[in-house]
Structure 1
Amino acid sequence: MAENGGVACKCYSERRSYCFREIRFGSRKTRRNFKTLPMIPLFKTGLYRCGSFAGSCCILSMDYREKARSTILESTKQKRIPIFVMMPVDVFGIDTSGLPKIRKMKALTMSLKALKLAGVHGIAVEVWWGIVERYAPFSYNWSLYEELFKLISDSGFKLHISLSFHSSIVSCNRKGGVSLPLWIMEIGYLNRDIYYRDQNGLSNNDYLTLGVDRIPLFCGRTALQCYEDFMFSFLNKFQSLMGHVIEEISVGLGPSGELRYPAHPSGDNRWRFPGIGEFQCYDKYMMEDLKSAACEEGKPEWGDDGPQNAGCYNSLPSEVPFFEEGGENFLSDYGRFFLEWYSGKLISHADAILAKAANMLRRYRNNGPNSVLLVAKIGGIYWWYQMDSHPAELTAGYYNTSLRDGYDPLASMLSRYGAALHVSCLEMIDSETPSAYLCSPEGLLQQVSVHSNLVKLLSCLTM
């Protein structure tokens, strides 16, 4: 789902035994089943209809003309798919005293009542690092979420939680966004290399570069330790809700919570669709790691820089030698070395964070009716998918080409922790994408679904 947030969902039968379902969009007829859900304005930008992969079925939508009828969707196999609504980010704000607050409380309460009457099963909430640990390291203020979770649970809803270690300001380009913690940004004012950089040295403060995962730059802590401490504090605070109210925890792994590099930054006008994007490895910490990897390979010259023939954000692949035929392209010895390093760093980043999350959640993951699902999210990079080089995926960190399955190592890593993979762009079909840009969201989803024997595959649709 590119830049928008989202959640995955569990499907359950009347016995409350959990299973995972597949949503297929093989024809326009299937898509016509989806209709509009009436929403009051507070939730208008945040409604999600969710599903997951495991077997073939179709979904019948709610009819917007039906008012008081239950909206639990029934599949052809009589399994029910619950609906979750995403809490808009502008619900959260900072009051004049600098404390976090819930905006429009009266409207929010009315919205929850309306959603309950409509048959909505649960609410998906982003838990922002930039709100909870806003002012100082180890100074966690959970008061906003204590109030919000009580309101949601008292209204009879379940919770899907997204632990968000990114900013929503640049990626969403909207008012009311949430920044990284202020004390992190103070460090960033003095050292811009804590963020990802492109080949021109440009960066944004959307997410910390994975180059600082193991470097103690944050008041004596590494980035990984900051994420771990935040997750521990969350579980300690809300352990009484785990399982019976909180059904799922998605752990943020990059920009917009997705495991990827910010190769296609739409919020600051550097990139626009269908540009191939740019590699994001030019902060000094990533470059030091690249140089070390090149020396280990016996090719120290390969560590001096990233690819010099890879174009820029809005290049088309036909203009770029690295993604076409020629010397030192993506198939060359250098190209394979760089792409293995670049994608490998991303998977190692996810591996380290999910290992900590899985360890903390192990007591809540018994696969029973009150278990908690651990989820990781990836971006749906579907443009230029029909090219041999898959250039937009390569710049985002997915080493996926016509000759290499880039999602296999990712699925293998997730399987070690029993984590589900949340994929996006499920609602898209090839015939509704620009053919000139060789898009194939259906091809991407089909490829990812091959790994369902290793990992549960989940997806969601934005309204």
Structure 2
Amino acid sequence: MLEYHLANLRSLKILCMDAREKSRSTILESSKDKRVPIFVMMPVDAFSFDASGRPRIRKIKALTVSLKALKLAGVHGIGVEVWWGIVERSSPFDYSWSLYEELFKLISDSGLKLHVALSFHSNIHSSNGKGGVSLPLWILEIGDVNKDIYYRDQHGFSNNDYLTLGVDQVPLLSGRTALQCYEDFMVSFVDKFESYIGSVIEEISIGLGPSGELRYPAHPFGDGRWKFPGIGEFQCYDKYMMKDLKMAACRERKPQWGDRGPQNAGCYNSLPSGVPFFEEGQESFLSDYGRFFLEWYSGRLICHADAILAKAAKILNKYQENEQTSVMLVAKIGGIYWWYQTISHPAELTAGYYNTALRDGYDPVVSVFSRHGAALHIPCLDMMDSETPPTYLCSPEGLLKQIQSVSKKRIIKLIGRNTTERHDKSGLRRIHSNCYNRQTEVVRSFTYFRMNDGIFRVENWNNFVPFVRLMSRDL
């Protein structure tokens, strides 16, 4: 591995000499607009734990070489997930920042900036066996006794990738609510890395759900319950969310609506056809009950984002006053693009986006982000409808266009990211085109997912370097 990176670094010195010329001929003609800085996310298996349980950076020599190569290529910065499950791993309030002190110094010494993603989720199920970080161990101990601190589906299965928003205001976590845990973590982070904020750390993304995205874990591919293109399942069956649903139903003077979620909404791997709730009948999403449930389900998610972002904005407020130390607050949404061309958009509904052919479900989400001054981290910039199976009525292009339109209306900054791993010229060309869409604001930065062996293969590197040169500011 290390020898491979070293060989590529030597070849990179030659490639970078004519990278500007190649950026014109290989990808696209250079844009006269403001260039878009690129942050490359750290590898999914960047961290591990030693025999004593202490976190460490894996393959640090190879990582150092990779950082130098990316810097030479013109990459602006590195995206780093700062895991709750690493920093506050063993016990409440016991924050250990040593791993990130070492990593941030390594990145800074390489001349690169930082996009930091404060991650309150786990990636155990999505890391494909390549390490992975759980929630804090003391949280898992509480969850062993009370599984209702996690989201549950209609069958009672829980998902321990993220705490249910039902415990946002319930002091179950060693005397704290979930919101207090998130707030304390953010305060500790800012106190520890204040000297980096605004100079090295340019963007701070706040985790709002699974994979850091504002959504429910309706499509849990990592544990085998869901496979593409299933519509997913509603995740509201923990006792805290069910209690809230009952209260909402009583306020509507329809207490029977609070007994459960929709019972005719299929299962994880159902297709929309033949699932009554997602069709247009009397007991569908268009019924009085359907509208009530979806407004409650999506509304709780928006309130969750509102509460966390309010705390984050307050903590970071003092860094917004001085332009030299300004840091961008960022929030992510998911890219649920399958079944987008149906009237009900079922996969989006189960994820918590009340978005249908008859209703714009992203406007209220973007409004909350905008109110707190958060930039919107948008997906699918690499995807084309023609690359998706037509049978599943996908439209990543339609989804992206809708989100961009809402963002323009709400005057919110945009940050882009790819949804699939792309090293090919076509995918990189698509990213550039979407970043410089004349109909919307140019994105402020682009987060490339992610650093791995593939990016450094010669044929991929020869595409990636001209792309970076085309997109990024001169460093």
TM-score, structure 1 as length reference: 0.84
The reply on whether 1:453 has 2:402 as its aligned counterpart is no
Q: CA deviation at 1:71?
A: 7.0
1:98 aligns with 2:62: no
Q: How many pairs align?
A: 406
Which structure 2 residues correspond to residues 29-428 of structure 1 after superposition, within 5 A?
66-69=15-18, 75-366=30-321, 368-428=323-383
- How many angstroms apart in 2 are the aligned matches of 1:65 and 1:325? 61
**Partners of 1:85 and 1:123 within 8 A in 2:** yes
| Conserved 8 A contact 1:170-1:204 | no
Cα distance in structure 1, aligned partners of 2:178 and 2:128: 25
- Listed one character per residue, the Cα deviations across residues 56-77 of structure 1 (whole Å, up to 9, x for unaligned) are xxxxxxx998344567978411
Q: Which runs of 4+ in 1 moved over 6 A?
A: 39-42, 71-74
Q: Is the contact between residue 245 and residue 296 of structure 2 (CA under 8 Å) also seen in structure 1?
A: yes
Task: Give the aligned residue type for 1:460.
Answer: R
Residues 424 and 460 in structure 1, CA contact (< 8 A), matched pair in contact too: yes
CA distance change for structure 1 residues 449 and 142 in 2, over 3 Å: closer, same or farther? Answer: same
Q: 1:363 to 1:265 in 2, by over 3 A?
A: same
Inter-partner Cα distance in structure 1 for 2:5 and 2:397: 32
C-alpha distance after superposition, 1:199-256 (max 9, x if no partner): 0001121000001110000000000000000000000000000101100000000000
Distance 1:119 1:446 in 2: 29
Following the alignment from structure 2 to structure 1, what is the Cα–Cα distance between the partners of residues 399 and 261? 27
Deviations 1:248-296 (A, max 9, x none): 0000000000000000110011111111000000111110110010001
Q: Partners of 1:156 and 1:41 in 2: how far apart?
A: 18
* Structure 1 range deviating more: 238-247 or 420-429: 420-429
Letter in 2 for 1:437: Y
Aligned-partner residue type, residue 447 of structure 1: Q
Mapped contact 1:377–1:421 kept (Cα < 8 A): yes
Which secondary structure does the structure 2 equivalent of 1:317 belong to? coil
Change (3 A) 1:98 1:446: same
Distance 2:416 2:39 in 1: 12
Assess, with a 3 A threshold, how the Cα gap between structure 1 residues 255 and 41 changes in structure 2: closer, same or farther.
Answer: farther
For residues 369 and 129 of structure 1, what CA distance do their matches in structure 2 show? Answer: 28
- Contact 2:5–2:65 under 8 Å retained in 1: no
Structure 1, unmatched stretches of 5+, are 1-38, 45-62
- Alignment match, 1:58: none
* Contact in 2 for aligned 1:419/1:456 (Cα 8 Å): yes
1:318 counterpart SS class: coil
Q: Deviations over 1:28-47 (max 9, x none)?
A: xxxxxxxxxxx9679x9xxx
For residues 71 and 371 of structure 1, the distance between their equivalents in structure 2, rounded to whole angstroms, comes to 30
More helix by share: 2
Letter paired with 1:431: S
Aligned equivalents of 2:134 and 2:409: distance in 1?
Answer: 38
Please tell me the residue identity of whatever aligns with 1:390. H
Tell me which amino acid in the other structure corresponds to 1:93: S
Amino acid at match of 1:288: K
CA–CA separation in structure 2 for the residues paired with 1:254 and 1:388: 26
- Whole-angstrom CA distance in 2 between matches of 1:216 and 1:326: 42
CA distance in structure 1 between the partners assigned to 2:20 and 2:346 by the alignment: 41
Distance in 2 between residues matched to 1:64 and 1:293, nearest whole Å: 62
Preserved contact between residue 45 and residue 127 of structure 2 (Cα < 8 Å): no
Q: Tell me, yes or no, if the aligned pair for 2:209 and 2:216 is still in contact at 8 Å.
A: yes
**SS state at 2:214 partner:** coil
2:13–2:72 CA contact under 8 A, matched in 1: no
Letter paired with 1:459: G
Counterpart residue identity of residue 363, structure 2: D
1:174 shift after superposition: 2.6
Q: What percentage of aligned pairs have identical amino acids?
A: 73
Structure 2 CA distance, aligned partners of 1:93 and 1:351?
33
Distance in 2, Cα, partners of 1:419 & 1:170: 28
Structure 1 Cα separation of the partners of residues 45 and 389 of structure 2: 32
Change (3 A) 1:69 1:253: farther
Separation in 2, partners of 1:342, 1:256: 19
* Residues 133-155 of structure 1: CA deviation (Å, up to 9, x unaligned): 00000000000000110111111
Q: Which amino acid aligns with 1:185?
A: L
Q: Report the residue type matching 1:453 in the other structure.
A: K
